[in-house]
Structure 1
């Protein structure tokens, strides 16, 4: 739980009540997940995977992964 402390001044009870009401109305805030990233901005697509070696490797290199 958070605590409020008056550092300077001499607020009235009404001023403290107004401040507490405003802070309470703000609430804890909702944690939202960031929007999903577009596949177009995926940097992994720019990195080429190593080519396969061995018999039939040339044929497998044309297939999408």
Structure 2
């Protein structure tokens, strides 16, 4: 694994911290079985929040149509 610093002058401690984060993320990604949904994918899945009926037309319907994106 190669890391290239494009700008700035990081200290050895800053480089070590960045490398620790990159290695931890790589280890976490490698431990997920292939085909399993990732936490981010399941969090942003619209079916997770669309468990209720759609609002019926009416005067106050616009206030119940919030759909986080």
Which TM bucket (shorter chain)?
Answer: 0.3 to 0.5
Greater relative CO, 1 or 2 (CA 8 Å, sep 6+): 2
Task: Give the alignment's TM-score, normalised by structure 2.
Answer: 0.41
In proportion to residue count, which structure has more helix? 2
TM-score when normalising by structure 1 = 0.43
